Amino acid sequence: MRVTLLTPYLPHEAIGHGGGVAVRGMARALARRHEVTLVALERPGEAGLAAPTAALLGCRVTTVPFLDAGAASPGDRLRLAASRLGAGLRGLRRGRPYYVEKYRTAALAAAIVDAVAASAPDAVQCEYLQTALLLQDLARWRDREAAAGRPAPRLFLSSHEMGSLPRARRAALTRNPLRKWLLQYQAAAWRRLQADASRWADAVFCVTDQDRDLLAACGGRGGVTIPLGVDTDATRAVWRPDGPPKLLFVGSFGHAPNRSAAEFLVDKVWPRIAQCDRNMSLVLAGGGPGPFLAALAARDPRISVPGFVRDLDALYRDCRLVAAPLTEGGGIKIKILEAMAAGIPVVTTPIGAEGIAGEQDRALWLAAPDDDFARTIRAALADPAEAAARAMRARRLIEERFSWAAIVDRLTAQYEGR
């Protein structure tokens, strides 16, 4: 079967964020079963990355130029500013999220439709809700093909998360009336978009049952729970801690929920852990704004910020546990899946474990993002036998529920209309 994936991010090896890593793993797994074409937006600075990405994934890669914050020349920056202004105005006029409008111009839509049509697909899967307006263009193209008696592919939207959920959560937490109103307005815009997008696709892949229920609650249809996964062949259970004790948090610090989690970890959790063990250190691994990471490292000499780490095996092997006090976001957290697949004990919040595991699985520790989080870390560190047992359960759970091989079976059934 010919399957075309449309993604707003070229999933190269240094992509650095969880969604990009998930798309990379999914594309590689799909390419073992199907003839896969990846159509990706190419940002400034990514020229020349399509060929090595295609070789890595074992599929064809077609890129479409997309101006983004990396624009360097004055002319490109001016065009980017005009494009973003236009997206903002369209969003206000149509009641749609700016973040979705910025991914759709007439020229970009035409280029995307041409690239997808050239792949002669049997199924097209659009990654992320922000591609919803491009999905609408593809639906119009598909309908024209069908009306002309030509083969027409099935269309799917892989949502990654319901965009309304994190905005609604932030609105509930903020005390600033203006910010609360803005976040509620944004959440409502996402709910409208979610419902509309579901009518342009044959099915919407929701990564959790909660997301599927949210889609239905806002008037959407065709929601199917299919989680994001992990390449369990490439991600090995490597945890064998030795040497001075270390805690680990992994994330792209260009993403606001990860910055919030890191600040909570450094300001509220770390001082209570550090005072109990003078040999303990904290590693915050991941790319992001240099000043932000430098400020975190400056608060304690035992905090290190190595930046983007291409191969996390050494950190997963040597650190005592992953501490991920996530309080924002939606969908499935790839960083939690990968840590569990690596066999390292994990302490996270109920939000961090959404769609993955609960207390009954005893595969990780769950703690509220308050004083309980530090207490739970200390308890986990004090019981290495229980930590090892939970790490082993976590690896088995990932193999059973979140391996890409199993998920590709479910995707294939959807593509074939089964």
Domains along the chain?
A: 2-229+404-415 (3.40.50.2000), 246-401 (3.40.50.2000)
What average pLDDT does the structure give for the chain? 93
- Its sign, for the CA torsion 333, 334, 335, 341, is positive
pLDDT above 90 coverage of the chain, percent: 82
Lowest mean pLDDT of 115-124, 304-313, 379-388, name the range: 304-313
Q: Quote the pLDDT of residue 14.
A: 83
Question: Which helix (DSSP H) or strand (DSSP E) does residue 310 occupy?
Answer: none
Reported as a pLDDT band with limits 50, 70 and 90, residue 284 is very high
Q: Quote the pLDDT of residue 17.
A: 77
Question: What global pTM score does this model have?
Answer: 0.89
* Angle value at C-alpha 382, between 380 and 385, nearest 5 degrees: 75
Q: Quote the pLDDT of residue 72.
A: 80
Model confidence at 16: pLDDT above 80: no
* 18-31 vs 404-415: helix crossing angle, rounded to 10: 70
* Angle value at C-alpha 206, between 205 and 212, nearest 5 degrees: 120
Q: Quote the pLDDT of residue 91.
A: 94
Which token pair is 312? Answer: 């996390």
Q: Quote the pLDDT of residue 389.
A: 96
pLDDT tens for 209-252 read 999 999 999 999 999 999 999 988 888 889 999 888 999 999 98
Q: Where are the alpha helices (H) located in 199-299, listed in sequence order?
A: 209-217, 256-264, 270-274, 290-297
Q: Quote the pLDDT of residue 330.
A: 82
Reported as a pLDDT band with limits 50, 70 and 90, residue 30 is very high
Q: How far, in Å, CA of 102 to CA of 83, rounded?
A: 7
Q: Quote the pLDDT of residue 161.
A: 93
pLDDT tens for 136-145 read 999 999 999 9
Q: Quote the pLDDT of residue 70.
A: 80
Model confidence at 398: pLDDT above 80: yes
pLDDT tens for 186-221 read 999 999 999 999 999 999 999 999 999 999 999 999
Model confidence at 173: pLDDT above 90: no
Radius of gyration of the chain (CA): 22
Average pLDDT over residues 299-326: 93
Q: Quote the pLDDT of residue 108.
A: 96
Residue 249: how many other CB atoms lie within 10 Å: 24
Average pLDDT over residues 386-394: 96
- Its sign, for the CA torsion 63, 404, 328, 372, is negative
